[in-house]
Homo-oligomer: A and B are copies of this chain.
Amino acid sequence: MKLLKEDIAALDNRQRVLFINSLSGFKSVNLVGTADKDKNTNLAIVSSVTHIGANPPLLSMVMRPHTVPRGTLENILQTEVYTLNHVNADIYQQAHQTSARYPEDVSEFDEVGLNEQWNDNFAAPFVSESVIKIVNIEMPDDLVADDGFVSLEKAGTVAVSSLDTYHSTNTLGSLSYAKPEKPSR
């Protein structure tokens, strides 16, 4: 199958959304935890978190106001903080459900049945059920190897493809630092 620009334009909307969302490859899937100044919480699923740099640590997240609950973006603008929480196999169904358009005065935490975890002096909630939680980074010691590698697989972190399909993973291999004179293995 070869698709040119005009073929993609001819797809119906839902087809184009599923198809184009598949093209970048497997995506990370995280829950963004936020609160307004009165600690009314929001929880939203995002697949656009990307590694930018390690020193200083820098991640990017793309939000589109019309697909993600506007409350999340407004909360971030109010408090200037948010948490990222990896989605694992035990909670991917609740995580997906946060993408429903709930009324503004309810919290997705309550609606989907995930628990808020508050840390001292930090204005956004973590997801208690998530194994790897990011801002001040929090994770079990046994996930982290001496060389700094974090086993997302051991954490049960999942990937997403297209819009709605969730995957666990199997390690194929860890490859050595690539050098011109030496093939990877």
- Tell me the A residues contacting B by CB distance below 8 Å: 1-5, 8, 11, 13-30, 47-55, 57, 59-60, 62, 64, 84, 86-87, 89, 92-94, 96-103, 111-112, 132, 134, 136-141, 143-145, 147-150, 152-153, 157-159, 161-180, 182-185
Query: How close is A103's CB to chain B, nearest CB, in angstroms?
Result: 8
Contact between chains at B136 and A2 (CB < 8 Å): yes
**Given A2-B136, A167-B153 in contact, is the A20-B51 Cβ separation under 8 Å?**
yes
Q: Given A27-B26, A28-B27, A141–B184 Cβ distance below 8 Å?
A: no
Residue on B nearest A177 in the bound complex, by CB: B164
Task: Tell me the smallest distance from the CB of A139 to a CB of chain B, in Å.
Answer: 6
Contacts of A54 in B (CB 8 A): 16-17, 19-21
A contacts with B: majority SS: mixed
Interchain CB contact under 8 A, B19 and A29: no
Determine whether the beta carbon of A180 is less than 8 Å from that of B101.
yes
Task: Give every chain B residue within 8 A of A134 (Cβ-Cβ).
Answer: 23
Choice from B51, B138, B157, B162 contacting A1 with Cβ under 8 Å: B138
Q: How far is A49 from B6 in the complex, measured between Cα atoms in Å?
A: 23
Are B30 and A150 in touch, CB under 8 angstroms? no
* Contact assessment for B51 and A178 in the assembled complex, using a CB-CB cutoff below 8 Å: no
Q: A170-B168, A170-B170 are in contact. Are A150 and B22 (CB under 8 A)?
A: yes
